[in-house]
Chain A
Amino acid sequence: MLDKTGIAKRIAKEIKDGYYVNLGIGIPTQVANYIPENIDVVLQSENGLLGMGPFPWEGEEDPDVINAGKQTITMLPGSAVFDSAMSFGMIRSKKVNLTILGAMEVSENGDIANWKIPGKMVKGMGGAMDLVASAENIIVAMQHVNKAGESKLLPNCTLPLTGVNCVKKIVTELAVLDVLPGGGFKLLERAPGVSVEEIKNATAGKLIIEGDIPEMVL
C-alpha cells in the first residue's frame, strides 16, 4: 500500500518531457518533488504563474509570490506572470498538457466530485471546474476508500459533480486505474503488497481486470 508520498511518486512517472502541468491542492502539489530531473516540465499555477519553483528558503518568503494553494513559492528563471483571465484562457484552450487533482469521488464514466458535501462542507470549486471541463489529460490522486471505509470509486457519484466524463486515470494507495471511454475502471497496476482481491473489495464501480496485474514500480 502506498502512502501519500508514494501516490505522488507514482503520478510523477506520468509526466513527460515538454509538458505544461497544473497541480491541484494536496497530494498533487507533492508531485512536483518527484518529477524526474532529466525532463523539462513547466508547472502552471492557476492564480497566474508559469514556472513555479520550490518553496523559498526560510526567510525569503514573499507574500506576493504564492501558488493556487496560497503557499509561498518561488519563480524559476523563465517564469511568466499573468492575470486570472489569461490563466484560464490557457487552460480552456488546452495549452496545459496535464492536470492532476484530488477528488472525493470518481464514477466509472469519469465523473468527478470534489467541491462540496451538502449541508456539511463547502470548499468551493476554485479552478477545478474549469480545469476538468477543458483538460484532455486528467489524473486524479485520491484515497481508494473514505474514512468510513467506503469506496470512492463508484458506479455514480453521490456528491455534487465538479465535471462529467473527464477523468482519464486514477492513482490511489492501492492501484493505478484507467477510466475507459465506454465506462469502467480498468486495473493497470497494484501498489506494492496489495492483492487484486483487496482492490476488488475497495472498488464499488465496475472494475475491469484483464490478465496478470503487475505491481507498480516506483
Chain B
Amino acid sequence: MNKIVSGADEAIRDIEDGHTLMLGGFGMCGLPEKCILALVKKGVKNLTCISNNAGVDDFGIGLLLHQHQVKKMISSYVGENAIFEQQLLSGELEVELIPQGTLATRCMAAGYGMPAIFTPAGIGTEVAIGKEIRNFNGKDYLMEMAFDADFAIVKAWKGDRMGNLVYRSTARNFNPVMAMAGKITIAEVEELVEPGELDPDNIHTPGIYVHRIFQGENYEKRIEQRTVRKRDN
C-alpha cells in the first residue's frame, strides 16, 4: 500500500470548480497550508469550503477568499477575519454558520457512516430554522445531516505511506474527523516515516481513511495570538 504523492499540486490535481472541500485546522493551528497554497495557484473556483474558520486575511482560507475562489463557507466562526466578515455582510459569499460541535459531529457522522445526528445546539435560535426537531426524554434536539464532501484535506504531524496519521497537540482539532469524512482524503504531514515507526496503539487516523499523503516542506505554522509570560529578569 503506497499512498504517497509528490506534493500538494499532485494531491489536489482533480479538485475542480464547484467541488466541496473539508479543510482541517482551528484558526491557523493544524491548517493544511501547503494544499491551500496549491489551490490558490490552481485557481479553482466556486468551491464550497467546510472549515471551522477561514484563517486570517493573508493566510489559510483567507487566501482563497481573496481570490474569490469560494462560493460558500460552512463554518462556526468568522472572528477577526476581515475579508470573511466583509464578503459575508456584502452578500458576495454564501455563508452557513453552524455551531462548532455541530460542525465536528456532522463530519464525524460522515466518517462513521451515519446519515444524521441529533444535537440540542441551536434549539430556539436561527440555526434551527427549517430543520427537523425531535424530542427525546423531554428535551428538543435538532436533526443535523452528515456532510457530503468531495475531498477532505487535513494536516498531520507524522504519517506513513499506508496513510496512518498522528497529530500533534491541539493541531489535532478537526483533522481526524474530517479525515474520516472525505470521499477522497488528502493528508499533508510534517514528517513521512516508514511503516512500523508509528506505534499502532497511538495512530489517530487509520490509513484506510487516507487516499493521498505527502510531506510538506518548511511549514510556516503562524501564531494568531502570541500570548506569553515575561521573565522577570
Contacts and interface: CB of A to CB of B under 8 A. Distances in A.
A61 B169 CA distance: 13
A85 B107 contact: yes
B175 interface: yes
Given A47-B26, A64-B169, A83-B176, A127 B76 contact: yes
Contacts of A164: 123-125
Interface in B32-74: 52-53
Interface stretch (B4-12, B192-200, B207-215, B223-231): B223-231
Contacts of A85: 101, 104-105, 107-108, 176-177
Chain B, interface size: which category?
Answer: 35 or more
A85 B222 CA distance: 24
A58 interface: yes
Consensus secondary structure, chain A interface: loop
Chain A, interface size: which category?
Answer: 35 or more
A91 interface: yes
Nearest to A130: B101
A5 interface: no
A122 B119 contact: no
A64 B228 contact: no
Interface string A106-132: 000001000100011111111111100
Interface string A68-91: 011111010000011111011001
A62 interface: yes
Contacts of A121: 85
Nearest to B100: A127
Contacts of B89: 119-120, 122
A82 B26 CA distance: 13
Contacts of B169: 49, 62, 64-65, 75, 81
B100 A160 contact: no
B170 interface: yes
A8 to B, nearest CB: 16
Given A55-B229, A75-B169, A84 B124 contact: no
28 contacts: A47-B173, A49-B169, A55-B227, A56-B228, A63-B221, A64-B168, A64-B170, A66-B27, A70-B225, A71-B224, A72-B227, A73-B227, A81-B172, A83-B173, A84-B173, A85-B104, A88-B100, A88-B101, A88-B104, A120-B89, A122-B78, A124-B78, A125-B97, A126-B77, A126-B100, A133-B123, A134-B120, A161-B126
Considering the complex of A and B, which 8 residue pairs feature the smallest CB-CB distances, nearest first? A88-B101, A130-B101, A164-B124, A84-B104, A129-B99, A124-B77, A133-B120, A70-B224
